[in-house]
Structures are given as C-alpha cells and as structure tokens.
Structure 1
C-alpha cells in the first residue's frame, strides 16, 4: 500500500484519478464534500444542486480537493486556487505550487482529475452519445487534416474517432490555458491506424504529447501535456474513502471495491 502523500509525481509521469458520480458509496459522504467547498464553489453548487448537474459538480470538486491534498500537504478544505488571465486554475497555497500541475474535467456520471509535475497539462472527458448528429460539429471545429482523416474512416468508426479527436483537442486547449483564443481549426491531432495518438501539427509541435486514457462504450477521455508523457497511472477514488490503483485496461470499466473500505492503493 502506498499513500499518495508519500510520493510526488515525477517529471513525465501523469496520475489519472477518476470517480463515477453515480456510485452509491458516495451517498453518505455528500455533506462532507459540501463542507470542503470554498464560498465561490458553494454558490456554484447551490445554483446547480436542484438540477441534474449538481451532484456531478459537487463530487468533481471533492475529487479535485482530496487528490490535491495528497500532493500539496494542505487539507482538502484549505486548498486554495487562483486562476490565470483566461481562468485556468492553479494552486495558490501549496509549498509545491510551482511543480504540481493539474487539470480536471467532468461529464454526466464521471469526473476525472490529472496531476503531473512541472509540465502544463489538460484533460477532457466526454459522455458518448449514440446519435451520429454530433458528427456535424466536426465541420466547425476540426482542421482540414482531421476532417479528411475522420471522413476516411468506415461509417461504424466515425463516432468513436470523433470523440477521440474532440477530447484530444479540448485537452490541448485546456493545457495551454489560453481559453478559446486558440482556434480549434488551427492545429491538428493525427491518429494512427489503431486510433492512438501519432503526431501533432501546431505551435511548438515537438513540445506536446497526447494520450487517450479512456475509450469505452460510455466515455472517451484524453490528456495533453507540454512535455513527454513517459508513464501514466490510473486510480479510482471515493473522495475521503477508498482509492484503488488499476491497470490501464481495467480503468474506467467498473466500480472497484475494497474489502476494508478504508483508503488504500492496490495494484490492479
């Protein structure tokens, strides 16, 4: 068993933390999660709590705060954030704020947080729709190179590949931390025949690395980092509860269950 507090991510390593927000084990912890929110987060939660997005938002903030607490030597409720000129959050009260880089994303039913050291990082996750109507968005947001590659795929592959391109592009935008000042059509992500990241065509192309970290029937998630991705570790987390480390092929596929119910990490 290895507590995240006993280690710091190495340069080039990415920790991917995730939580399924409909997991019933979260139900009796929601009050604890609400108690750790900042005033601004509490206001946001109050505005969302009566709709379908309230639970997802609350658990996403709890995951982010508990994960960052493991790396920053600050309790979850005392984690403090600042933002850059475009709104990208950063740690503001950690003794490791200059080295710990993070990003978070959530969609219906799933929240994801990524942590690394030194390099800019971004993550995006999307709940996959069954309708092919989302493919119409590609004309507005994909580069010519990406459109040609997408249209060259078989019809039964196009929806899957759309989400791969989309999450990779969004992760890059978030990693850059410059918001929509970066036109999505001005850079290209290239996938190989198996659908894995192959190369990047855009500013500082040699600097950026990408990986699709989840691709199943329900979700697609991807990361972009301003440096070489040397290794990735996957952990399912119940904030303030159990943490289970999983292999890449088992991550995102089910709710891992710990026999003890206590916080721990188990090799998958």
Structure 2
C-alpha cells in the first residue's frame, strides 16, 4: 500500500476521491489489461455492452475501482472480490479483514469517480448537466417541499445549476445508506446556503450525516455523503496502470484530457 494513502485513509472522517476521464486517449493502450482484470460476472456485463456507447465507460470504471482499491487492500486489482448487500450495494467480500474499507462509485458520460473511506457509510453521485430546462420537471417527483421552494426561489439562470446540486447530494445519500429506493426521496431534505454549498441535512439520524459538493464546473456536478463528519478530502486524478496525480480541490476535475473517442453527449449518469 502507498504509505501516504494508508496514513490519510486511516484518519477519522477522511475521504479519498478518485476520478478518471473515460475519453482520455492515454487509456487506449491499456484497455486489454483492464479487460483482463474483470471477474467473470464483470466480463459478462462488459460483453453485453460491447459495441454500444457505454462499453468503454464501464470498462474504465471497473479498472479505476479495482486499481484504486488495490492501493488500500494490498491485493492485485484482479484479485479483489465483491459482494452486494440485500439491496444490491457493492461491498468488498472481506471488508473486515481489509480494514473496514468502504467505497462507492458513480459515472456519467466521459467521467468515472470512486470514493474510499474507513468504517463509515459513503456514497457519491456524479452528473453531466443537461442544458434542457425540461429536466427541472423531475424536481416535483424527487425533491422535498422545502427543496422545491428553495429551487423555485432561485433566479431562472441558476435553477439548472441548483437542481444538479440537490440531485447529486440526494443520490449520494441514497447510495451511502445502501437501501435503494426503499428510502422515499421526499422524506429528507438538503439545505444549501446562499453560495450553493451544503448547509444542513434534515432527515433520519441528521447529526450523523455530512455532505460535500466535490465537483462543480460546466461539465460535471458531483457530491458525496458520509455517515460521519467529513474532516478532510483528498483528490486524485488516475489513469489506471499509467499514472495518478494528487490535486487540490480547486484543480480537481478541471484537467481535461485530449479526447480519445470523440465528443460525448451530455446525459444523466
């Protein structure tokens, strides 16, 4: 294990955020090695996606997760085993033996992200914002009354931005809880301050949960939820089996690569 990664990851309330741009041309020479890492179940899923628009994203996302977790587990990427809980949330097969490592992943067109921490429930969501304001109609179905009121009070040119802040924060919480759609989205609320940063959570065990928007630019919005106070976050840009670079919060997600597969359409991830 990388000693710096090990030292930070053992700190209470510390989160490591790893990301990879899946259009990066530097990935091309490694795709066969990424495929060799996959488990039989992942191989089957990859084959189903072959020749579609999401096959590369899937392959790179699995390679990122496996190479990242190998930093914490002292295992080769291909030797890492996964299981799922009763609601389908992925977990390490032998998490207790590996130091109670908790992780979560998310991807959208052109970007895959994973987060790692110790002992605490964690979730992440990432979206590539659509420019169509019609997406705002979804807020009525998924946002609480207070979130809707806050969203509607924003200026017209801010509403799409704030929609994705709320959306990613709420999805990160759902994923951290690991109970799927059994958690009604109307039954908890995210409160944002005037600058659009996380301010307060109103819901079950409110004192236990903390949130952060870890990416906000023209291309992506990403947020995390942690089942304890977030004390520190470290960011890594990773090209699996090629290089990894630690970045500041201001630099992270802004170092766009040369595209290897052309322009991607924006989509909800």
Question: Is this a same-fold pair by TM over 0.5?
Answer: yes
Given that 1:7 and 1:71 are in contact with CA atoms closer than 8 Å, whether structure 2 keeps it comes out as no
**1:254 lines up with 2:255 in the alignment:** yes
Q: Which residues of 2 match residues 85-104 of structure 1 at below 5 A?
A: 85-93=86-94, 96-97=97-98, 99-104=100-105
Flag structure 1 segments of 5+ consecutive residues without an equivalent. 258-268
Query: What is the root-mean-square deviation of aligned Cα atoms in Å?
Result: 1.6
Q: Which residues of 2 match residues 5-16 of structure 1 at below 5 A?
A: 8-16=9-17
**1:55 lines up with 2:56 in the alignment:** yes
- Residue in structure 2 matched with residue 261 of structure 1 by the alignment: none
- Residue in structure 2 matched with residue 241 of structure 1 by the alignment: 242
- Residue in structure 1 matched with residue 262 of structure 2 by the alignment: none
CA distance in 2, matches of 1:84, 1:217: 35
Q: 1:68/1:136 Cα in 2 relative to 1: closer, same or farther (>3 Å)?
A: same
Q: CA deviation at 1:5?
A: 5.7
CA distance in 2, matches of 1:94, 1:142: 34
SS, match of residue 151 in structure 1: helix
More off after superposition, 8-17 vs 28-37: 8-17
Q: 1:97/1:173 Cα in 2 relative to 1: closer, same or farther (>3 Å)?
A: farther
Moved segments of 4+, more than 6 Å: none
- Residue in structure 1 matched with residue 261 of structure 2 by the alignment: none
Given that 1:234 and 1:247 are in contact with CA atoms closer than 8 Å, whether structure 2 keeps it comes out as yes
CA distance in 1, matches of 2:26, 2:195: 36
Q: 1:6/1:197 Cα in 2 relative to 1: closer, same or farther (>3 Å)?
A: closer
Q: Which residues of 2 match residues 148-227 of structure 1 at below 5 A?
A: 148-227=149-228
CA distance in 1, matches of 2:255, 2:194: 28
- Residue in structure 2 matched with residue 231 of structure 1 by the alignment: 232
CA distance in 2, matches of 1:119, 1:197: 19
CA distance in 2, matches of 1:247, 1:96: 31
- Residue in structure 2 matched with residue 108 of structure 1 by the alignment: 109
Higher RCO, 1 or 2 (CA under 8 Å, sep at least 6)?
2
Given that 2:61 and 2:112 are in contact with CA atoms closer than 8 Å, whether structure 1 keeps it comes out as yes
- Residue in structure 1 matched with residue 126 of structure 2 by the alignment: 125
SS, match of residue 150 in structure 1: helix
TM-score by length of 2: 0.92
CA distance in 2, matches of 1:6, 1:188: 34
CA distance in 2, matches of 1:115, 1:184: 25
Q: CA deviation at 1:74?
A: 1.1
Given that 1:18 and 1:237 are in contact with CA atoms closer than 8 Å, whether structure 2 keeps it comes out as yes
- CA deviations on 1:52-99 (whole Å, 9 max, x unpaired) are 000000000000000001101111001000110001111113564452
Given that 2:8 and 2:14 are in contact with CA atoms closer than 8 Å, whether structure 1 keeps it comes out as no
SS, match of residue 105 in structure 2: strand
Q: CA deviation at 1:121?
A: 0.1
SS, match of residue 229 in structure 2: coil
SS, match of residue 229 in structure 1: coil
CA distance in 2, matches of 1:159, 1:9: 37
